[in-house]
Amino acid sequence: MNSFPAILALSLNLAVPSVVIGFLIGFGGIGGVLLAPALSVIGGLPIQEAIRICMWVYVVSGVVGTAMFLRNNYIRGRMLLALTAGVCPSALAGAFALNWLGAPHLEILMAVVIFTSGLFTLNRLHFVGSGQASLNEIGLVAIGLVTGFGSSLTGTGGALILIPILLFAHIEVKQALGLAQAIQIPIGVVASVINFYSGYLDLALGSLIAVAVGAGVLAGAAYAHRSSSTQLKFWVGLSLVLCSLVYGLHAAGLLL
């Protein structure tokens, strides 16, 4: 798509769903799973092109969300650095793998894991976790490796894989959401650099969509800060269950 009027028309057509998805990303960290299907179904983009645009969008949404959670001291630097050390090389591998590897088997596995994580979260709404001591640097790097590769390959931005793992480790929900916002940035940057220099990234379209998603993230993160941990866990758990269904339908070929 080379014509700027065509790009602008498509981005306007996607503006409302992009803002809604951005709100879900900012509020519960999970909405990114809907972005690639929205670009494909509503925008008519091939799924691989949609995933590449998503990775650029996550850079912007990650910056916005991280700024909001940093203001309230929900992001721990030690944990973020260790996660980033694992995320960067694996996101690089995932970006290369996207060019030649389909991901239906990965999506089926993720659907099962995410569904289980959602039920686990809903079952522990009133549990208050600190979790910082339960994950050392080696464990966090390993989590980053899994998060980076799976996110870059499937276009989910990091939160969909990272949040269930952190909640299983009893990380407090707002800390988990803050880390999920921040981890979008290295994943998106690494994948987008590879996609751009490979000639596969529509930077103009991605940037216009990123503006709409970023606005939604700003509103969603602001609302998350005013919500209790129990409320957030409920919505995150419900979102995980619903997103597992999205993955299952996509893997079965019933959702583009």
- Identify the pLDDT of residue 34: 75
Q: Is the pTM of this model over 0.85?
A: no
235 or 67, greater pLDDT? 67
**Picking from 147-151, 220-224, 230-234, which range would have the lowest pLDDT averaged per residue?**
230-234
Largest CA distance in the chain: 52
36 or 107, greater pLDDT? 36
- 135-160: average pLDDT: 83
Q: 65, 106, 155, 116: which is closest to 237 by C-alpha?
A: 116
**Picking from 47-51, 84-88, 101-105, 181-185, which range would have the lowest pLDDT averaged per residue?**
101-105
- Percentage of residues in the chain having pLDDT higher than 90: 11
Q: 247, 243, 245: which is closest to 21 by C-alpha?
A: 243
10 or 214, greater pLDDT? 214
pLDDT tens for each residue of 69-127:
888 788 888 899 999 999 989 888 887 776 665 555 656 766 776 677 677 767 766 55
Check pLDDT > 90 for residue 41.
no
- Identify the pLDDT of residue 247: 66
205 or 109, greater pLDDT? 205
